């Protein structure tokens, strides 16, 4: 599958590399977004495709210096609900209501946010 388009049953999550490495060892990923855990947020933020991810990166990941990885998540292997929220909005985002089992991650590739003006 092309890394630039989302297929059915796939969502994308940007993670700090150190958090993903810990998740690989423990068997599950429990970070919602930068600086917040699943327990603190109530769900894990995700993007439905790379165009949506680009907007998230512009708004929230500029200036992040820690290594990042882009997780391609197979929603059929999650074992928890994925809801597209907010309902009825022009743009909805997939929210994963539980931990991401490491086995549900199809790929994890290094990700570098583009330079300012690069998107």
Q: pLDDT, tens digit, for every residue of 53-111?
A: 999 999 989 889 999 999 999 999 999 999 999 998 999 999 999 999 999 999 999 99
State residue 63's pLDDT score.
84
State residue 116's pLDDT score.
60
- Who contacts 68 (Cβ-Cβ below 8 Å, separation ≥6)? 14, 15, 16, 17, 61, 110, 111, 112, 113
Residue-range domain boundaries for the chain: 10-111
Say if residue 63 is exposed, middle or buried (CB neighbours under 10 Å; 0-12, 13-18, 19+): exposed
| Contact of 71 with 29, CB cutoff 8 Å | yes
Architecture (CATH level 2) of domain 10-111: Alpha-Beta Barrel (3.20)
Q: 14-56, pLDDT tens digit by residue?
A: 999 999 999 999 999 999 999 999 999 999 999 999 999 999 9
Q: Torsion over CA of 7, 13, 17 and 18, rounded to 10 degrees?
A: -130
Mean of pLDDT over the chain: 90
């Amino acid at each position: 599958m092309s890394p630039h388009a989302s297929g059915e049953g796939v969502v994308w999550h940007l993670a700090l590399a150190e958090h993903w490495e810990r998740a690989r060892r423990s068997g599950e990923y429990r970070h919602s977004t930068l600086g917040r855990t699943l327990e603190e947020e109530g769900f894990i933020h995700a993007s439905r495709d790379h165009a949506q991810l680009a907007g998230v990166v512009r708004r929230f990941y500029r200036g992040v210096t820690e290594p990042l990885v882009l997780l391609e998540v197979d929603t059929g292997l999650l074992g928890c609900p994925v809801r597209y929220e907010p309902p009825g909005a022009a743009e909805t985002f997939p929210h994963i209501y539980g931990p991401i089992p490491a086995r549900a991650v199809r790929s994890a590739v290094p990700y570098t946010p583009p330079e300012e003006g690069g998107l």
